[in-house]
């Protein structure tokens, strides 16, 4: 009887040890992944005032067949500022854009990772009046 108890306790202990080791391994792998190099906006020219003309804004205007309004920004859905594929762009107001990033930052802080693409797109559309360019093209 005692040996059964001892055996159970040993197995239980071993399982806990393996779980802890696995968790530590997963965590350290996450930390060791090299950070993505910082991306910046693609500039395609200068306007007559010498201000940069951004590719992502130009693409948004082409897809929407209109000029962007003064308070409108073009958000990069995957966070990569030079990934200007139409499927990565979303037009929204400065105000909604800030609120969206606050929401996203809160989730990143809480869960240690970015929400899934489908979740981000759903949120952009339903809560931040985001205009997904892929839907508009
Ligand atoms: Zn953004």
CA 77 to ligand 1 center in whole angstroms: 7
pTM exceeds 0.85: no
The answer as to whether 121 is a domain residue is yes
Mean confidence (pLDDT) of the chain: 90
The answer as to whether 19 is a domain residue is no
CA 1 to ligand 1 center in whole angstroms: 63
Helices marked H in the chain? 2-32, 55-64, 94-111, 117-128, 133-136
How confident is the model at residue 32, as a pLDDT? 59
Range of the domain at 129: 54-136
* Distance, CA of 38 to CA of 109 (rounded, Å): 20
The whole-number average pLDDT for the span 57-85 is 97
The answer as to whether 104 is a domain residue is yes
Closest CA to 130 of 87, 97, 83: 97
CA 111 to ligand 1 center in whole angstroms: 19
Q: Tally the C-alpha atoms within 13 A of residue 29's C-alpha that lie toward its C-beta.
A: 6
| 28 backbone dihedrals φ, ψ, rounded to 5° | -70, -35
The whole-number average pLDDT for the span 99-118 is 97
How confident is the model at residue 128, as a pLDDT? 97
* Distance, CA of 39 to CA of 42 (rounded, Å): 9
Total structural domains in the chain? 1
For 57-69, the pLDDT digits (tens) are: 999 999 999 999 9
The answer as to whether 27 is a domain residue is no
The answer as to whether 111 is a domain residue is yes
CA 10 to ligand 1 center in whole angstroms: 52
In this prediction, residue 135 has a pLDDT band, given cuts at 50, 70 and 90, of: very high
* Distance, CA of 70 to CA of 85 (rounded, Å): 22
**Percent of the chain scored above 90 by pLDDT?**
70
The answer as to whether 128 is a domain residue is yes
The answer as to whether 15 is a domain residue is no
The token pair that represents 42 in the structure block: 């693609």
The answer as to whether 33 is a domain residue is no
For 5-56, the pLDDT digits (tens) are: 888 778 777 777 776 777 777 766 565 566 777 779 999 999 999 999 999 9
């Amino acid at each position: 009887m005692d040996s059964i108890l001892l055996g159970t306790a040993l197995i239980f202990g071993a399982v806990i040890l393996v779980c802890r080791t696995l968790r530590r391994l997963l965590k350290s792998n996450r930390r060791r992944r090299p950070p993505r190099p910082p991306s910046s906006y693609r500039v395609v020219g200068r306007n007559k005032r010498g201000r940069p003309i951004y590719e992502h804004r130009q693409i948004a205007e082409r897809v929407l067949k209109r000029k962007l309004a003064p308070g409108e920004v073009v958000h990069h859905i995957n966070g990569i500022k030079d990934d200007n594929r139409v499927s990565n762009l979303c037009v929204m107001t400065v105000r909604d854009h800030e609120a969206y990033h606050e929401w996203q930052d809160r989730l990143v802080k809480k869960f240690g990772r970015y929400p899934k693409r489908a979740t981000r797109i759903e949120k952009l559309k339903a809560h931040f009046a985001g205009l997904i360019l892929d839907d508009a093209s």
